[in-house]
Amino acid sequence: MINIPTFATQKPTPLKNIYQKVLFAFIFIISFYRADAQFAADQNFNSNIGFSISSNNFVLNNVRYILTGPSTYSNEVTNYGALSSSGSDGAMMFDMMGMSTLSSVRIEMSNGSAFKLDGMHIDFIANANIRISPNGDAAKAVTYTSNNMYTNQLVDVSANTNFQNVNYISITGSNLTLDLDDLNFSAAVVVVPVNLTRYTATRDGKRNKLEWETAQEAGSSHFDIEHATDGINFKKIGNRQAAGSSSTPQQYSFYDEAPVAGKNYYRLTQIDVDGKSTSYEVKWLQVDVNNSTTTVGPNPATDQLTIRNAKAGSTYYIFNNVGELMQQGKIPQATATLNVKTLVTGSYLLVIGKEFSFRFIKK
């Protein structure tokens, strides 16, 4: 008695695999020679006809292909030129032995660089939904339903921003059979959320005015404005709603209505809709608010500064010409003397409380 083996209906039989592969080849011969192909053939494989390799990880034309499955697969670039007006056309066919156990094909640049995928032509069928995913992200994938045979399927992702800056794409499906042609790559598109072209800080009467301009915005939520008197400990003092997404210049401004005497530091931070943030160069403005009854001398000074008519108990600060704090203390009484002998020769700013500031030269 001859035992006839039985096969589970859920998995393709070896015979079905062979039939499927023959059918694919027949359809591939016809379908890949449409005259209305929409993409430049960056990877049309015409110069690679005859290429053959048994490997799950190989490079062809600076593109790496990584196959996932339980076997080592035979892959070929096959010529369908018999039906082509040009006389030849090549297409990459994976799993030429028809094992149909392939679960995914990953495509990336051999040097690891990012790229933009515009599209491709593919033939495929699988027992589960087929996903073409940027960087393997199924949530952003282009999906095709399972158990349908797609022939000469034009995958057009040229306007899909998810494919504009990727390190690899993956084509996944259970028991996947896959052939592809006309892979169209281009340089990665780097989307900058905000392109800041101008950012200034100026005095406007008794106020400090911040102005900035963007050339373009993408996914921008708002701008935070922060203030500090020491350039380190910033506190938020306001915000401005951003344009969101714009390809035209946008102008913004913010007024600090109550700047303090001395240096006022400002930090501008842009917040994206996804919560990411970018902080820009810190700007500072000097505010001189003098009480006319307070006097300081001599100027230039050698060893001492004499202060008259100051508010007793006020804190004083001495900054150098780059804003570094060099000295600080308390004014003990209305008339007091400050020792500046240890200061090196240069220009300095004396700030007393919030009411008085004075520039002097140390000889």
**Do residues 140 and 221 share a domain?**
no
- 164 and 235 assigned to the same domain: no
Last residue of a domain, one of 153, 187, 221: 187
Print the domain residue range for 341: 295-362
Indicate whether 183 and 123 sit together in one domain: yes
* Together in a domain, 52 and 125: yes
CATH of the domain at 207: 2.60.40.10
Q: What is d(CA 20, CA 101) in angstroms, rounded to the nearest whole number?
A: 13
State whether 182 and 207 are in the same domain: no
Domain co-membership, 208 together with 276: yes
For residue 52, the domain's CATH number is 2.60.120
Residue 8 belongs to some domain of the structure: no
Same domain, 139 and 216: no
pTM of the predicted protein model: 0.48
Token digits for 272?
């994206």
Last residue of a domain, one of 139, 157, 187: 187
39 and 71 part of one domain: yes
Residue 7 domain flag: no
Does residue 5 form part of some domain? no
Q: 214 and 147 share a domain?
A: no
Whether residue 175 is found in the same domain as residue 208: no
Can you give the pLDDT of all 363 residues of the chain as single tens digits? 333 333 333 434 444 444 444 444 444 433 333 333 333 346 778 888 889 999 999 999 889 999 999 999 999 998 764 334 454 678 888 998 888 899 999 999 998 888 889 888 888 777 778 899 999 998 899 998 877 777 778 889 988 878 988 899 999 988 888 888 888 888 877 656 678 889 999 988 878 999 999 988 888 899 999 998 888 889 899 999 998 888 789 999 999 887 887 889 999 999 988 888 888 889 999 887 655 578 889 989 999 999 988 888 889 999 887 778 899 999 999 899 999 999 999 888 888 876 677 878 899
Please provide the size of the chain in residues: 363
* 3-state helix/strand/coil string of the chain: CCCCCCCCCCCCCHHHHHHHHHHHHHHHHHHCCCCCCCCCCCECCHHHCCCEEECCEEEECCEEEEEECCCCCEEEEEECHHHCCCCCCEEEECCCCCCCCEEEEEEEECCCCCEEEEEEEEEEECCCCEEEEECCCHHHCEEECCCCCEEEEEEECCCCHHHCCECEEEEEEEEEEEEEEEEEEEECCCCCCEEEEEEEEEEECCEEEEEEEEEEECCEEEEEEEEECCCCCCEEEEEEECCCCECCCEEEEEEECCCCCEEEEEEEEEEECCCCEEECCCEEEEECCCCCCCEEECCCECCEEEEECCCCCCEEEEEECCCCEEEEEECCCCCEEEECCCCCCEEEEEEECCCEEEEEEEC
User: How many domains does the chain divide into?
Assistant: 3
- Tell me: do 283 and 239 sit in the same domain: yes
Last residue of a domain, one of 287, 314, 332: 287
